[in-house]
Structure 1
């Protein structure tokens, strides 16, 4: 890849990862232009202002232009809207996967195209290599790897994305920030769900959707309590189930039609486990595999890779686990890998 003077648009959040990415790109000879996507947050006045100040400070130190792009309305309508709709439907959403596909990368490419910039970049921990096709791989730092959230990227996007931190350990990123004289070297990690700003999910849902109380039943069908609204519970959940008697209790099912929460007080109850799940909204980064396909899968962020068999279905696929898996949740993503740490693709659990 030509670097001297090659233009790249970098998404800057004001955090250490994107700031070090800016420094590395500039050091490599790229003509870097920063953009801060101002997204909606619960405490947007506080967190957005500080993040913008940090991004502006770093841009000034590195002598790169920085543009603030307000996407708060779009973010609230699309990402937060999706988040709430999924919970109302009895599913557990993955807002980071949705945001990366439908807002963050989409917006960065739109800005880059408007400005005539060939490449975009972010501070994600993942790798891209070019063989016959562009391949997305796990980051070298397995503890920080974010490839799970990026499986919906397309070939034409991967061809134009640069991940400067893909080969770097997180502790090395902080050392580089200090070396480059960037005052964000000791900045705290961002939250899992950025727009909640440390607010508990249950509190956010209570404030933003209409909850309806209903019966809690055990696996025998006996009424043993009252729930506060199905959207507040997820499969396998233990905390927040206020039932007396022999506990703790675990959520095994949310019956949307009957507005009923089913629980068990047995941690290893078979109703908590799945041998297979069905996926929809598939995205294959490389070619669609030949079915049935034996691959590795990650059923949630930071979970270990497990062996699975994928079988083709009319509108998706079926994923069969070698060993039964606990609390596999509708609405979450399953991402497929091969033994070379390459992401094959993935889909959303029905």
Structure 2
């Protein structure tokens, strides 16, 4: 039998969540030869008893096997722990140490998940890879374009902006045209045991749902003063690296709160806070972005776009253009772009991803806020 007459084979990344499980089910229903792959990521040694986040646990692997058995598809496992530790965890800690607030999930998708799935695709002479991400790919005039999901609340394109043309040509997002309740209903109708499984939250490599304790265990921190924007000392912090711009919870200051973080002054080891939500120091009119990727074509600039400055943040309007040096020349060789917001934005945070969207919900590209 020639390959042309065979079913198209697709490698599905299966995390044992409801989305990737239904993705595999939908593809099988559509006539694909489906092969599941469960990736083992790094976990912090000696912290198993603390684990609140179960997304990469032994239980998850067992759930993935149950789903694969019900769907009657093979499931392979791949050990990505070493690469994950180097590319994601070490990156996360180095960025935190440098005073930035990184997006490890963006890096994981870019350097780990899709890399391993594409390797498996080549090994198994498959045609496509697929995941349970909420996103859509459309081929228009010979180019592959990334679009937001039908489920606006669950859309995950923020984490996928670094995907290249050659990857998008081979990626399927089967759940991208569905809303989450419909996905759960499909899973329930198929008697998949994960139909009511909670969505994973937080970072998969931190035992706790928030990274603060993980950072404290893995970095040497120095305590210092908490100062208001008026210069008044109102408390002490346990390490600037455990805070992020705009943070409100976990500051632990009494008095006329709530306070939130305006700035982390690493030079003086001071955490600058305010209890005034309209404090000018927390708002920015512009931001500079080091571009990582234009997905289809580089747009003509300047261009008014929609931009997302962090996950779960609503889209805001801005004008993007090349950043200029002091002598007026562009910084295109460094891929630096400036975004001028139409309205000032609160808590624009270095290290976070800025993702650019067109009015028709196409993801144009994105980069890192600096």
TM interval, shorter chain, is over 0.9
Q: 20-29 or 218-227, which moves further after superposition? A: 218-227
Alignment counterpart, residue 166 of structure 1, candidates 176, 186, 196:
176
Q: Structure 1 residues 283 and 44, CA, compared in 2 at 3 Å: closer, same or farther?
A: farther
| Counterpart in the other structure of 2:138 | 129
RMSD over aligned Cα, in angstroms? Answer: 1.8
| Counterpart in the other structure of 1:41 | 43
1: distance between equivalents of 2:315 and 2:204? 25
| Counterpart in the other structure of 1:329 | 349
| Deviation >6 Å, runs of 4+ | none
1: distance between equivalents of 2:145 and 2:166? 11
Alignment counterpart, residue 205 of structure 1, candidates 215, 221, 227:
215
Deviation at 1:264, TM superposition (A): 1.9
**Structure 1: unaligned runs, 5 residues or longer:** none
Deviation at 1:149, TM superposition (A): 0.7
Secondary structure (helix, strand or coil) at the match of 2:251 reads coil
1: distance between equivalents of 2:40 and 2:292? 29
| Counterpart in the other structure of 1:338 | 358
**Is 1:65 paired with 2:74?**
yes
- The answer to whether the Cα contact below 8 Å between 1:3 and 1:29 also exists between their aligned partners in 2 is no
Structure-2-length-normalised TM-score? 0.90
- The answer to whether the Cα contact below 8 Å between 1:17 and 1:123 also exists between their aligned partners in 2 is yes
**Structure 2: unaligned runs, 5 residues or longer:** 324-330
Deviation at 1:222, TM superposition (A): 4.0
| Counterpart in the other structure of 2:19 | 17
> What are the within-5 Å matches in structure 2 for residues 184-199 of structure 1?
184-199=194-209
2: distance between equivalents of 1:153 and 1:208? 30
**Is 1:252 paired with 2:262?**
yes
Q: 155-164 or 288-297, which moves further after superposition? A: 288-297
Secondary structure (helix, strand or coil) at the match of 1:5 reads coil
Deviation at 1:282, TM superposition (A): 2.7
Secondary structure (helix, strand or coil) at the match of 1:239 reads coil
**Is 1:293 paired with 2:303?**
yes
1: distance between equivalents of 2:265 and 2:273? 11
| Counterpart in the other structure of 2:339 | 319
2: distance between equivalents of 1:91 and 1:296? 23
2: distance between equivalents of 1:244 and 1:14? 43
| Counterpart in the other structure of 1:232 | 242
Deviation at 1:245, TM superposition (A): 4.1
Deviation at 1:115, TM superposition (A): 2.2
- The answer to whether the Cα contact below 8 Å between 1:4 and 1:30 also exists between their aligned partners in 2 is no
- The answer to whether the Cα contact below 8 Å between 1:3 and 1:30 also exists between their aligned partners in 2 is no
- The answer to whether the Cα contact below 8 Å between 2:87 and 2:107 also exists between their aligned partners in 1 is no
- The answer to whether the Cα contact below 8 Å between 1:148 and 1:335 also exists between their aligned partners in 2 is yes
Deviation at 1:194, TM superposition (A): 1.9
Secondary structure (helix, strand or coil) at the match of 1:296 reads strand
Q: 319-328 or 109-118, which moves further after superposition? A: 109-118
- The answer to whether the Cα contact below 8 Å between 1:191 and 1:198 also exists between their aligned partners in 2 is no
| Counterpart in the other structure of 1:276 | 286
| Counterpart in the other structure of 2:326 | none
Q: Structure 1 residues 265 and 110, CA, compared in 2 at 3 Å: closer, same or farther?
A: same
Secondary structure (helix, strand or coil) at the match of 1:51 reads helix
2: distance between equivalents of 1:131 and 1:319? 27
Structure-1-length-normalised TM-score? 0.95
Deviation at 1:44, TM superposition (A): 5.8
Deviation at 1:219, TM superposition (A): 2.1
- The answer to whether the Cα contact below 8 Å between 1:34 and 1:64 also exists between their aligned partners in 2 is yes
| Counterpart in the other structure of 1:6 | 8
- The answer to whether the Cα contact below 8 Å between 1:16 and 1:174 also exists between their aligned partners in 2 is yes
Q: 315-324 or 244-253, which moves further after superposition? A: 244-253
Deviations 1:319-343 (A, max 9, x none): 1110001111111111111111110
Deviations 1:277-333 (A, max 9, x none): 000143100211111111111111122211110010202100111000111111111
Q: 139-148 or 108-117, which moves further after superposition? A: 108-117
Deviation at 1:258, TM superposition (A): 2.3
Deviation at 1:197, TM superposition (A): 4.3
